[in-house]
């Protein structure tokens, strides 16, 4: 990429970043700039008023006049302070709103993207980088801040030049030689030119080197690894009170403290080395700043000594020139920081630009009163992204609403993958899946997803109320929620809850929230699947966390729970599949056998071997336990 193309791309990133900030909080950049501009104008007004008071003292004005001028200065300063504070309060309120809305942009993206992307580790890495640089001074927020800083510096420089020239040349001079040069406009321009060169050196070379050292310490490989480890400890240990049991039972306190100490010590070493490397640039920066101040005050004092400036004018000239110097410095520093922010902003947009490749379809699903739906897998092959080996191989399968099918097989044979394809969390690599003869890709995605209630073995509940978890919404039918919880086998448990279905789960947001066991959690997930009322229900190891009595209760009530809906029941326990209409046995990504329990045993194939192996296992286990 040429320098011109790179510059064009950088400008595009800047424009997009400012548009995103404006989208998150309309007018945020303008308000920020207005606040700074008002502060700048206030500073210049105060300088001018202070010079008037000092000149009045020098000219011997009477006390009442001086008192009036001093009161005027103090009053204007007070007014400026009040207005500035109200600007700042409003800005701070909107700053909080901006941060929340920018976070929502990331959350909306990751919760709405294709599931195939969500399971990709590269997506999570992109998300963490985007979240890191969205709200940091070296990222999106910083780019806006330094853009405003740049505008502030430009105005600081322009206003300073406008007010300093009339002040410097209010009196005419005809002096020649060096004194004449200092008194002339060329002398002032030369001083400004020298200061500009020194400030550019500070911003272009010294600050750039300092920024590079700091950025390396902050974003180097070791630092990123430490941030990731610290985030893991914070999320899963320090902020997760459920980890407390394991920490105490296994005496992990020393292990955790040693890891934290390692992180802190390593961070200290990284920043100590960075600080040592910053000594040189910092010394050069300070030296140039001292030199520019010396030139400025020397210039002002020399002009005062030659009778061109009064005492008040010297103060005003020095402060005006300081504003000019700071303006040049701010422009240079802002440009340096923007150059650092731009690459980091790319991480944000790289994540936001991850494409959704799944075809969403346009055909609405039929709203059939008879619930007559027929699903079919037609020569379906599937392999996960980045994998060469197929997980599913030439799957041909058909079933209708109302049928109960068990899907069994060893771990890794493709059972859960088949369900993910059926629910369109993934699309087949080859072949097609149809609903009533139409490829499921052609249906509207939201309509198609509404057909399914799925209870995965790793389903999760949130720290919301029981009713909100079951209904998956803040708007729910309380009576229906209660009925679904009872149908899932939690009648007695529900009666013990202090607030009924309004009881909060867990204590993350509510001190009176209740902790629930794994079995209770799985039953509530089952209640959520029942509440949705979809014509198709998938139960992936629904009794894995249940005790034998609860498991038997679920089995005996299976038909009443499922009703007339189609059900796919995935389980490793073959004895729990006997009540299903049909059992499909998978092996190595293929359908090995289909049929009823007795018929499959008579075949003496894969199912019979699995059944016998499990029966022997239970026999051996019982013998070991009760020997």
| Pair (71, 130) in one structural domain | yes
In the predicted model, what is the mean pLDDT of the chain?
Answer: 80
| Pair (328, 435) in one structural domain | no
CA torsion sign for 421, 424, 429, 431 is positive
| Pair (45, 150) in one structural domain | yes
Asked which of 143-147, 152-156, 162-166, 358-362 is least confident by mean pLDDT, the reply is: 358-362
Beta partners for residue 465, in sequence order? 504
| Pair (134, 81) in one structural domain | yes
Residue 33 has pLDDT above 90, yes or no: no
Predicted TM-score (pTM) of the model is: 0.70
Residue 149 has pLDDT above 80, yes or no: yes
Cβ contacts of 26 within 8 Å, gap of 6 or more: none
Residue 286 included in any domain: no
User: What would the DSSP string read from start to end of 290-303?
Assistant: HHHHHHHHHHHHHH
| Pair (157, 110) in one structural domain | yes
How many domains, in total, are found in the chain? 2
- CATH number, residue 554: 3.40.50.300
Residue 165 has pLDDT above 70, yes or no: yes
Residue 207 has pLDDT above 60, yes or no: yes
Q: Which residue has the higher pLDDT, 214 or 603?
A: 603
| Pair (79, 7) in one structural domain | yes
Mean pLDDT across 233-256: 72
| Pair (133, 47) in one structural domain | yes
Residue 171 has pLDDT above 60, yes or no: yes
Residue 612 included in any domain: no
| Pair (15, 152) in one structural domain | yes
How sure is the predictor about 298, in pLDDT bands with cuts at 50, 70 and 90? confident
Helices (H), 113-184: 115-118, 121-134, 140-168, 177-183
User: What would the DSSP string read from start to end of 575-606?
Assistant: GGGTTSSEEEEEETTEEEEEE-HHHHHHHTSH
State percent of the chain over pLDDT 90.
9
| Pair (152, 77) in one structural domain | yes
Phi, psi of 391 (to 5 degrees): -85, -40
CA-wise closest residue to 381 among 391, 367, 371? 391
| Pair (378, 348) in one structural domain | no
Residue 602 included in any domain: no
Mean pLDDT across 92-118: 83
**Residue 354 CA to its chain's centroid (Å):** 14
| Pair (328, 449) in one structural domain | no
pLDDT in tens, 278-292: 888 888 888 888 888
Residue 65 included in any domain: yes
Domain that holds residue 142: 3-171+308-352
State percent of the chain over pLDDT 70.
87
Q: Are 131 and 140 in contact (CB under 8 A)?
A: no
Residue 561 has pLDDT above 80, yes or no: no
Q: Which residue has the higher pLDDT, 495 or 62?
A: 495
Q: Are 349 and 16 in contact (CB under 8 A)?
A: yes
Helices (H), 435-534: 445-449, 466-471, 478-487, 491-495, 518-532
Residue 471 included in any domain: no
How sure is the predictor about 468, in pLDDT bands with cuts at 50, 70 and 90? very high
Residue 381 has pLDDT above 70, yes or no: yes
Residues 161 and 334: their CA atoms lie apart, in Å, by: 20
| Pair (455, 543) in one structural domain | yes
């Amino acid at each position: 990429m040429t320098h011109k193309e790179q510059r064009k791309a950088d400008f595009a990133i800047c424009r997009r970043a400012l548009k995103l900030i404006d989208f998150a909080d309309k007018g945020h950049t303008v308000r920020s700039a207005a606040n700074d501009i008002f502060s700048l104008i206030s500073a210049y007004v105060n300088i001018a008023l202070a010079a008037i008071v000092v000149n009045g003292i020098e000219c011997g004005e009477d006390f009442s006049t001086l008192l009036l001028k001093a009161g005027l200065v103090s009053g204007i300063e007070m007014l400026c302070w009040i207005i500035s504070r109200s600007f700042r309060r409003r800005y701070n309120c909107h700053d909080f709103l901006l941060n929340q809305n920018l976070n929502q942009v990331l959350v909306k993206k990751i919760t709405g993207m294709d599931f195939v992307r969500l399971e990709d580790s590269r997506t999570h890495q992109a998300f963490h980088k985007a979240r890191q640089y969205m709200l940091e001074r070296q990222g999106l927020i910083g780019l806006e801040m330094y853009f405003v800083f740049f505008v502030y510096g430009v105005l600081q420089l322009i206003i300073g030049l406008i007010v300093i020239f009339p002040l410097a040349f209010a009196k005419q001079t005809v002096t020649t030689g060096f004194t004449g040069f200092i008194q002339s406009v060329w002398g002032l321009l030369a001083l400004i030119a020298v200061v500009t060169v020194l400030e550019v050196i500070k911003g272009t070379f010294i600050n750039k080197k300092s920024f590079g050292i700091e950025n390396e310490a902050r974003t180097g490989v070791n630092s990123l690894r430490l941030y990731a480890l610290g985030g893991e400890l914070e999320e899963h240990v320090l902020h997760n009170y459920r980890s407390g049991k394991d920490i105490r039972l296994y005496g992990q306190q020393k292990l955790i403290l040693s890891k934290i100490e390692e992180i802190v010590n390593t961070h200290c070493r990284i920043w100590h080395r960075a600080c040592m490397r910053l000594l040189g640039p910092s010394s050069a920066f300070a030296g140039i700043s001292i030199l520019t101040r010396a030139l400025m005050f020397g210039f002002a004092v020399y002009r005062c000594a030659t009778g061109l400036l009064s005492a008040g004018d010297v103060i005003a000239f020095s402060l005006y020139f300081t504003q000019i110097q700071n303006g040049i410095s701010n422009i240079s520093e802002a440009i340096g920081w923007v150059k650092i922010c731009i690459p980091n902003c790319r991480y944000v947009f790289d994540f936001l630009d991850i494409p959704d490749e799944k075809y969403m379809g346009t055909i609405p699903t039929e709203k059939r009163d008879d619930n007559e739906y027929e699903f079919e897998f037609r020569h379906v092959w599937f392999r996960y992204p980045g994998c060469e080996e197929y997980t599913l191989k030439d799957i041909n399968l058909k079933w209708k609403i109302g049928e109960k099918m068990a899907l069994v097989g060893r771990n890794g044979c493709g059972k859960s993958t088949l369900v993910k394809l059926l629910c369109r969390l993934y699309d087949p690599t080859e072949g097609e899946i149809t609903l009533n003869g139409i490829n499921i890709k052609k249906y509207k995605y939201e309509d198609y997803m509404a057909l399914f209630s799925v209870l995965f073995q790793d389903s999760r509940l949130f720290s919301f109320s029981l009713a909100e978890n079951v209904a998956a919404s803040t708007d729910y039918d309380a009576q229906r929620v209660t009925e679904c919880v009872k149908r899932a086998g939690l009648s007695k448990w529900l009666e013990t809850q202090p607030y009924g279905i309004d009881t909060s789960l867990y204590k993350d947001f509510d001190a009176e929230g209740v902790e629930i066991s794994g079995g209770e959690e799985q039953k509530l997930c089952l209640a959520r699947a029942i509440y949705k009322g979809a014509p198709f229900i998938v139960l992936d190891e629904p009794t894995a966390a249940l005790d034998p009595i609860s498991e038997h209760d679920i089995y005996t009530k299976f038909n009443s729970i499922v009703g007339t809906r189609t059900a796919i029941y995935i389980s490793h326990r073959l004895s729990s599949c006997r009540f299903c209409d049909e059992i499909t046995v998978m092996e190595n990504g293929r359908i090995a056998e289909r049929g009823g329990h007795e018929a499959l045993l008579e075949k003496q194939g894969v199912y019979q071997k699995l059944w016998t192996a499990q029966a022997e296992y239970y026999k051996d286990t019982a013998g070991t336990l009760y020997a």
